[in-house]
Copies of this chain bind each other. A is one copy, B any other.
């Protein structure tokens, strides 16, 4: 099958957008870049290759004129501009109206019915009207704490409860991530910042909801809690020094309840002193299944999931979909 290449517009070329674009660039037989949008004046006018950190020249320059770029013939927009649905909604509507499928890194878009069902329904209708598919994904939300445990339930006749624990070693991650988890703060400052939602992983509630969607469950309620991981010894990273009793990171719980019972329990720990990173899941059902996965890498794998999902988004039926709706996503 000499399939036609998928023509891609890049929308947002920060570190994550650029990393996702590099994954598509690894598959030149499947994808070609036809446009790129970013507001950063240091990027506008430059060739895509230079901006995403590759030696190749693509002959396509970054533009700040979204409307003009979206008017080009293209099959897919790789969208990576923000975590919050209300923040990216105008961009999504513009892309949909231009008739382009969307794969997005927006965390809340991974399951937008959780935080804002009205906007989700609106985007879903618009996407169906313009016959395009819209999916938000990434490693988390999008895979490690939702798609992977749901995929494991394929071997179960019944499932009573899904528990997941993800431990992320943030010590070698980007400065932005270490700040986002409160590394180096006092415990008091952490609690203040967490109350203001300045510190937290965005997407845990979305993952709880994805697990429920994947299993056809109606939850009564999704609850989230957050607490600091406190350093017991001095931790030094490239970006921060954490003294003992200061904050090394964050531990969050997401719970999905039905009839007073915990049906989904997700625990996420992201800290600069995490001894070892892993993803563990317990499927309580018939049979019980336990999985332990090592090696999922925050930055490499977020870009991988987005890049690998791209072709499945283009193939899928129109609408605002989730990872629960796509055909098997794999490294290709």
Contacts and interface: CB of A to CB of B under 8 A. Distances in A.
Nearest to A19: B157
A31 interface: no
B155 A330 contact: no
Given A293-B291, A295-B289, A328 B332 contact: no
A287 B295 CA distance: 7
Contacts of A304: 154-157, 286
Nearest to A296: B155
B26 A154 contact: no
Contacts of A152: 148, 293
Contact of A216 (B139, B159, B215, B332): B332
B285 A290 contact: no
A331 B285 contact: yes
Interface stretch (A102-110, A259-267, A318-326): A318-326
Contact of A325 (B286, B295, B307, B327): B327
A216 to B, nearest CB: 4
Best-surrounded residue of A154, A290, A293, A331 (most CB of chain B within 10 A): A154
A329 interface: yes
Contacts of A323: 328
B307 A296 contact: no
Contacts of A288: 295
Contacts of A309: 154
A23 B325 contact: no
Contact of A328 (B159, B308, B326): B326
A159 to B, nearest CB: 5
A63 interface: no
A86 to B, nearest CB: 27
Given A156-B304, A291-B293, 10 more contacts: A153-B330, A154-B331, A159-B331, A286-B304, A287-B295, A287-B296, A289-B293, A289-B295, A324-B330, A326-B327
